[in-house]
Amino acid sequence: MNAQHNTTAAGLRFAEAVLPGHPDKLADQIADAIVDIALAKDDRAIVQVEVAVHHNICHVNGRVSTVGGPLDRAYVEATVRGVYERAGFGVPFEGVGDGSDYQCPRPADVDVQLACTIDESDPEERAMREYTDDQAIHIGYAIGTPETRWLPMEQHLAWLLRDELLTLTVEQRTLGAGPDGKLLIALRPVGVSAGGFTRYAPAWVVSSVQHIEAAPTVVLERAVRELFTRVLREEAARMPELLTAPGPDFVVRVNEAGPFTDGGPMNDNGQTGRKLVMDFYGPHVAIGGGALSGKDPWRLDRAAALRTRQIAVAMVQTGFVREARVTFVWGPRDQRPSGVVLEADGVALDAAVTARWLERFDPSLAATHAELGLARVNWENCARAGSWGRGYGWG
């Protein structure tokens, strides 16, 4: 047993999140940046791409088809390199050492391998986007706590700490930290709120933050510990019914594997779709579909994931449901799901009630795409910052 914190307390809940420079998340952002430029040219663009990054190589496979001719390959390559820069690679850390050090790879040094098909879309195929081309299962989830953005507490806190850590690495460049990094939070139950929701206490946080060799590592580690502790105290003060402040046993462990100078794709390979649990609702909630990133919003894995989340949020917003789970099941050539299950606090709604919800939220691909404005979303930002609780129309 790890002597630094309690590893066996009953009911522990966990969630993790990563910074934009993490290799898997970098691959997601690249894939979605390609989706974005394809949709800017054609709102019915056919995009299905996967990205793999390792050292200075970025390999893209799949397909990008647009009306009026293919995307310019040089523009696609420039788009890929732009993602590296926005993630923080190749940006000097002024104020550390001589101010010239940066994390590799520099965008200009990236070998972009476009092994994907980039062509003009077929008019007949493009006209059939309202029909599915595969089978799929999708699950949307929400819990009735607006304080947590309708997300499980552990998932909300993991993303919040991740956001604050990102801000720290961007705004305090003298720490020499980032762009890769990750964290994992553990919560323990300590009671039940007046509304019937479990109340939690932070148990511990584990974090790894990339840094350059000249970084003041002791200062960096202290800054991360203080940051996480402060944010959790502020969240406990904001929602005392749901969360208690960190107690004397609370521990923040930072970079305990040793110096983390080689990070991002220079340390590990990354691929699209590896962070599904983080991208959805955390390990407590089942995942139905596949990866979100690298797919145009006519694809089931993207459109249906958003519509089921929207319905789940609407269900808990009524105030009569504490926890909602919405499942869509699809077969090839469906315009609407072949199977729909709406669950309120673990109980499936009957056919009549379900039908009323589906009258309000048409589950068809065409209606989902139009009503949620999916052609106008910045998907790269979704890959970077998350899809839930960020002010989007689906919740």
pLDDT for 248-260, tens place per residue?
A: 999 999 999 999 9
Query: What pLDDT shows up at residue 5?
Result: 59
Answer yes or no: is 391 within a domain.
Answer: no
Q: Are 10 and 28 in contact (CB under 8 A)?
A: no
Q: Residues 301, 345: one domain?
A: yes
Q: Residues 160, 256: one domain?
A: yes
Could you give the CA distance from residue 362 to residue 220 in angstroms, rounded to a whole number? Answer: 49
Q: Residues 158, 253: one domain?
A: yes
pLDDT band at 8; cut points 50, 70, 90 = low
CATH number for position 350: 3.30.300.10
Q: Residues 170, 241: one domain?
A: yes
Answer yes or no: is 43 within a domain.
Answer: yes
Query: What pLDDT shows up at residue 153?
Result: 98
Q: Are 209 and 165 in contact (CB under 8 A)?
A: yes
Q: Residues 299, 213: one domain?
A: no
Query: What pLDDT shows up at residue 10?
Result: 73
Answer yes or no: is 102 within a domain.
Answer: yes
Answer yes or no: is 7 within a domain.
Answer: no
Q: Residues 264, 300: one domain?
A: no
Number of domains in the chain: 3
Answer yes or no: is 231 within a domain.
Answer: yes
Strand spans (E) along the chain: 13-18, 46-54, 57-66, 111-114, 117-120, 136-143, 177-192, 198-211, 251-254, 270-271, 323-330, 339-344, 347-348
Q: What is the DSSP string of 79-94?
A: HHHHHHHHHTTT---T
Q: Residues 351, 264: one domain?
A: no
pLDDT band at 7; cut points 50, 70, 90 = low
Question: How many other C-beta atoms are found inside a 10 Å radius of the C-beta of residue 327?
Answer: 21
pLDDT surpasses 50 at 179: yes
Residues shown for the chain? 395
For 262-298, what is each residue's pLDDT tens digit? 999 999 999 999 999 999 999 999 988 789 999 999 9
Residue 56 has which token pair? 């200075």
pLDDT-above-90 percentage for the chain? 96
Answer yes or no: is 279 within a domain.
Answer: no
Q: Residues 185, 87: one domain?
A: no
Answer yes or no: is 116 within a domain.
Answer: yes
pLDDT surpasses 60 at 1: no
Q: Residues 259, 290: one domain?
A: no
Question: How many other C-beta atoms are found inside a 10 Å radius of the C-beta of residue 183?
Answer: 24
Answer yes or no: is 4 within a domain.
Answer: no
User: Poorest-confidence range of 232-236, 314-318, 349-353, 389-393?
Assistant: 389-393
Q: What is the mean pLDDT of residues 27-32?
A: 98
Could you give the CA distance from residue 62 to residue 68 in angstroms, rounded to a whole number? Answer: 20
- Which is nearest to 391 in space by CA: 372, 364, 369, 375? 372
Helix (H, G, I), strand (E, B) or coil at 361: coil
pLDDT band at 3; cut points 50, 70, 90 = very low
Chain centroid to Cα 219, Å, comes to 29
Q: Residues 299, 251: one domain?
A: no
Give the structural domain span for 32. Answer: 23-126
Q: What is the mean pLDDT of residues 22-46?
A: 98
pLDDT-above-70 percentage for the chain? 98
- Which is nearest to 300 in space by CA: 104, 93, 131? 131
**Of the residues 269, 298, 326, which one is the last residue of a structural domain?**
269
For 121-172, what is each residue's pLDDT tens digit? 999 999 999 999 899 999 999 999 999 999 999 999 999 999 999 999 999 9
